[in-house]
């Protein structure tokens, strides 16, 4: 019986890459989950340059934090549980997190996609048969591979979008397709959509892509359901973040020339406090939260965060021990607390009055 089971698993592993694989618990290499801790503890030897890059609150209320060196942490309101490659992750570098409509948690890592069903973490690879052959690998590195999943989105129809190093892919719940290979997608600009840092669906159902570092650098890309186009309103080809505010305005952060806004008709540069950093979060009151901008010469930055209410800014830099390190992610939980992920794998909670450090 054991021999038969082994042969069955071996056969599944050799299924043609052009076919979407069906996974079961037998595919998982997950081991006993680590014991929870009251603070986020670093165990994988990450450096000052590593950060908490993404965050999510799931339907059950748990908070998830993806890091660029320590895997993923899940916080249940009392304890942090760390998930690493030993627990099934493809890589300890996690750039994106998504919960789908079924409650599965997806992780975008340097080595592709993983999915957590509440019990097991398993790899969920995009079939090689639909991926392009890359002849020029000069842009790719160990931490920025062509398999890196920089961004994810589940749209209103239930389609899941993945922004990877070699392009954008869609998962229907049955199989993967390469977005730009769809016959009905009009791509007059000849876009490639590589290294997409962020994917957002606006209130009207349009899809926005933030084109990232080389070989991306296609600026703001916009898909209206028929055509995909690109623009660089502030001269920036590398866009880091996209958020939609309560009024339907779309905010963008350009890496080189600062922030700008789209009001449904026109792009306008956001000239106030341009140097403060990137718009990362819109809270339930409609305030825009900006993360401290990083200095290119060092991993340290001016740090801190800024809150913009539409008229004035409030600076929280250095208040109550808020880190001097650059801010890379922000999340508002159901109780209204703002969670801030920084360089040096730092994590803070702001309850509206004071900051609490949740990292070692």
Q: How far apart are CA 305 and CA 307, in angstroms?
A: 7
* CATH architecture, domain defined by 50-123: Beta Barrel (2.40)
Q: What is the pLDDT of residue 299?
A: 37
Q: What is the pLDDT of residue 173?
A: 95
- Extract the tokens encoding 253: 């952060």
Q: Which class is 126-236 in CATH?
A: mainly beta
Q: How far apart are CA 326 and CA 302, in angstroms?
A: 7
As a three-state string, the secondary structure of 101-158 is CCCCEEEEECCEEEEECCCCEEECCCCHHHCCCCCCCCCCCCCCCCCCEEEEEECCCC
Q: What is the pLDDT of residue 276?
A: 67
Q: List residues bridging with 253 in a β-sheet.
A: 241, 259
Same fold, 50-123 and 126-236: no
Q: Please, what is the Cα angle at 73 between 88 and 107, to 5 degrees?
A: 50
As a three-state string, the secondary structure of 289-340 is EEEECECCCCCEECCCEEEECCCCEEECCCHHHCCCECEEEEEECCCCCEEE
Residuewise pLDDT in 10s, the chain (360 residues): 433 333 333 333 332 333 333 333 333 333 344 568 999 999 999 999 999 999 999 999 999 999 999 999 999 999 999 999 999 999 999 999 999 999 999 999 999 999 999 999 999 999 999 998 888 888 888 888 899 999 999 999 999 999 999 999 999 999 999 999 999 999 999 999 999 999 999 999 999 999 999 999 999 999 999 999 999 998 999 999 999 999 999 999 998 888 999 999 999 999 776 566 789 999 999 999 998 765 443 333 456 788 999 999 888 877 776 777 889 999 999 999 999 999 999 999 999 999 999 998
CB neighbour list of residue 359: distance below 8 Å, 6 or more residues apart: 39, 40, 42, 345, 346, 347, 348
Q: What is the pLDDT of residue 16?
A: 30
Report how far apart, in Å, the C-alpha atoms of 73 and of each of 57, 87, 92, 107 are.
Answer: 12, 12, 11, 12
Q: What is the pLDDT of residue 138?
A: 87
For the chain, what are the domain ranges?
50-123, 126-236, 272-360
| Maximum pairwise Cα distance, the chain | 70
Report how far apart, in Å, the C-alpha atoms of 221 and of each of 161, 252, 257, 354 are.
Answer: 14, 12, 17, 38
DSSP letters spanning 229-298: EEE-TTS-S-EEEEEE-TTSPEEEEETTTEEEEE-SS-EEE--TTGGGEEEEEE-TT--EEEEEPBPTTS
b/e code 286-305 from CB counts within 10 Å (16+ = b): ebbbbbbbbeeeebbbbbbb
Report how far apart, in Å, the C-alpha atoms of 161 and of each of 215, 217, 351 are.
Answer: 19, 19, 33
Q: How far apart are CA 137 and CA 146, in angstroms?
A: 8
Q: What is the pLDDT of residue 39?
A: 94
Q: Nearest-CA neighbor of 112 among 24, 17, 205, 190?
A: 17
CB 126 within 8 A of CB 113: yes
CATH number of 272-360: 2.40.10
Q: Cβ–Cβ contacts within 10 Å for residue 278, how many?
A: 25
- Extract the tokens encoding 326: 């650059």
Q: How far apart are CA 102 and CA 229, in angstroms?
A: 32
């Amino acid at each position: 019986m054991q021999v038969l089971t082994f042969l069955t698993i071996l056969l599944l592993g050799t299924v043609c890459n052009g076919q979407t694989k069906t996974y079961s618990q037998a595919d998982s290499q997950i081991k006993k989950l680590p014991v929870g801790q009251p603070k986020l503890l670093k165990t994988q030897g990450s450096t000052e340059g590593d950060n908490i890059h993404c965050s999510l609150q799931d339907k059950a209320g748990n908070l998830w934090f993806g890091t660029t060196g320590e895997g993923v942490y899940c916080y249940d309101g009392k304890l942090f549980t760390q998930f690493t490659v030993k627990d099934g992750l493809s890589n300890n570098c996690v750039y994106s997190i998504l919960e789908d409509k079924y409650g599965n948690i997806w992780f975008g890592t340097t080595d592709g996609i993983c999915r957590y069903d509440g019990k097991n973490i398993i790899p969920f690879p995009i079939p090689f048969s639909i991926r392009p052959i890359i002849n020029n690998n000069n842009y790719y590195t160990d931490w920025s591979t062509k398999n890196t999943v920089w961004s994810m989105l589940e749209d209103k129809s239930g389609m899941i979008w993945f922004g990877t190093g070699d392009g954008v892919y869609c998962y229907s719940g049955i199989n993967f397709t390469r977005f730009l290979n769809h016959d009905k997608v009009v791509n007059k600009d000849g876009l490639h959509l590589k290294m997409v840092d962020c994917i957002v669906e606006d209130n009207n159902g349009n899809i926005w892509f933030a084109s990232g570092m080389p070989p991306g650098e296609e600026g703001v890309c916009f898909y209206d359901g028929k055509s995909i186009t690109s623009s660089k309103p502030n001269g920036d080809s590398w866009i880091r973040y996209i958020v939609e505010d309560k009024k339907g305005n779309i905010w963008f952060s350009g890496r080189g020339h600062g922030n700008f806004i789209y009001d449904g008709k026109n792009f306008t540069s956001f000239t106030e406090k341009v140097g403060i950093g990137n718009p990362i979060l819109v809270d339930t009151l409609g305030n825009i939260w900006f993360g401290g901008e990083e200095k290119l010469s060092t991993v340290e930055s001016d740090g801190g965060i800024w809150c913009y209410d539409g008229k004035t800014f409030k600076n929280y830099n250095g208040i109550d021990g808020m880190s001097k390190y650059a801010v890379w992610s922000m999340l508002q939980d159901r109780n209204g607390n703002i969670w801030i992920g920084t360089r040096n794998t730092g994590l803070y909670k702001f309850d509206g009055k004071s900051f609490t450090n949740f990292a070692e």
